Amino acid sequence: MKKRYIALIAVIGIIIGWITLGGTQAVLHATSSTEFCVSCHTMQKPLAEYQGSVHFSNQKGIRAECADCHIPKDPIDYLITKVRASKDIYHEFVTGKIDTDAKYEDHRLAMAETVWEQMRENDSATCRSCHSFDAMETYDQSASAQKMHAYGRENNQTCIDCHKGVAHFAPQATLDTSAFDHLFDMAKNTKADAVKVYPIKTIKMADLATINPTVELTTVAHKDNQRTVMVSGYQMKGAESVIYMGEGQRSIIATLTDAGIKALKLGDAKTDAYGNQWRSAELTGTIEAPVLASNQPLWDYAEELDNVYCATCHAKIPANHFTVNSWGPVVKSMGARTDISELNLEILTKFFQNHAKDVATHQ
């Protein structure tokens, strides 16, 4: 009789366990569906963004559902993700944390960074459930995509480092404008006898030239608020109206007037491997614009620009990854996708070019 009771209890336990486990699995599965995910009114905004993305509709007819991107397949990561998601229910029904468009936008960056960090922790596991380096037909990719995928593999980057904003809008870049104003405050402390100085913005050198920001100038003389400075670089035959950063390095540091071209002090011509003739070039003239005694504050500011306008969308690319000549078109094409100002774009470009892999001090 006792054995029957034990057997009955065991059977009941198994049934209860089966119902519990089965019920739990059913609940977990149901709450992972796209229908459940977007059933809350606060999800209508990300739903609209998702519906306009290539993950929702594409030429292949393949659709990634919410769970495909946000819930890893690994059992442990799956459960951890589901537990983390419980806070969303709390904020939906208790705090109303993102229950208006304004609140949603206020928290967009924080929410995005949370997801990005989770994906870095699991090496973009949900991305890799569909995408694989080994399965890629790289010859069908653009040249830049091939290069960046190779770079990512070599440097152990994960998918989310570069592929942000693919299903939902990436957070809008915001820059602390006081950082740029601070450069002018620092310029007020530049001593009159500073030997090397660096303009913060595009400036005039009398009626001879326009000097680009960050360019190194050598002080020849100074009087009151006026400095006589010399800019040094290279001139290429056929492009006599500009001075370049270095021989073969087409980063413009000064644009010359007719008077400036005549005032140039030129060296002997040398022909490069491509048949272009280069000569060292020096131009001396007066400036009155504020300048810095060091270029480091400008590079610090450029780093901030990189963080805001570049790293918000993809992993930071080291300046020594490209050559001087490559950085120009790269920054220009990427800058066109943002609202970065022309001046900030020039400062950022000069930062990358001055730290490029073919600059002697960075090789």
Is 219 in the same domain as 270? yes
Is 154 in the same domain as 215? no
Written as tens digits, the pLDDT of the chain (363 aa) is: 666 777 667 777 777 777 776 676 777 777 888 888 888 888 899 899 899 999 999 888 989 999 899 988 888 888 888 888 888 888 888 898 998 999 999 999 889 889 989 998 899 999 988 888 888 888 888 887 888 888 888 888 899 888 888 888 888 777 777 889 999 999 999 998 899 999 999 999 999 999 999 999 999 998 877 899 999 999 999 999 999 999 999 999 999 999 999 999 999 999 988 899 999 999 999 999 899 999 999 999 999 999 888 887 777 888 998 899 999 999 998 888 888 999 999 999 999 999 999 885 544
Residue 175 forms part of a structural domain: no
**Boundary (domain end) residue, out of 103, 135, 162:** 162
C-alpha to C-alpha distance for 248 and 244, rounded to whole angstroms = 8
Is 125 in the same domain as 218? no
Is 156 in the same domain as 238? no
C-alpha to C-alpha distance for 321 and 52, rounded to whole angstroms = 33
Q: At what angle do helices 178-187 and 296-305 cross, to 10 degrees?
A: 170
Domain limits for position 202? 198-286
Q: Encode 154-185: b = buried (16+ Cβ within 10 Å), e = exposed.
A: eeebbbbbbbbeebbbebebebeeeebeebee
pTM of the model: 0.72
C-alpha to C-alpha distance for 293 and 148, rounded to whole angstroms = 37
Residue 343 forms part of a structural domain: no
Residue 54 forms part of a structural domain: yes
Is 71 in the same domain as 132? yes
Is 158 in the same domain as 212? no
Mark the binding-site residues, compressed into ranges: 37, 40-41, 66, 69-70, 127, 130-131, 159, 162-163, 310, 313-314
Residue 90 forms part of a structural domain: yes
Residue 63 forms part of a structural domain: yes
Residue 191 forms part of a structural domain: no
Q: Encode 125-135: b = buried (16+ Cβ within 10 Å), e = exposed.
A: bbbeeeeeeee
Is 98 in the same domain as 44? yes
Residue 204 forms part of a structural domain: yes
Mark the binding-site residues for heme, compressed into ranges: 37, 40-41, 66, 69-70, 127, 130-131, 159, 162-163, 310, 313-314
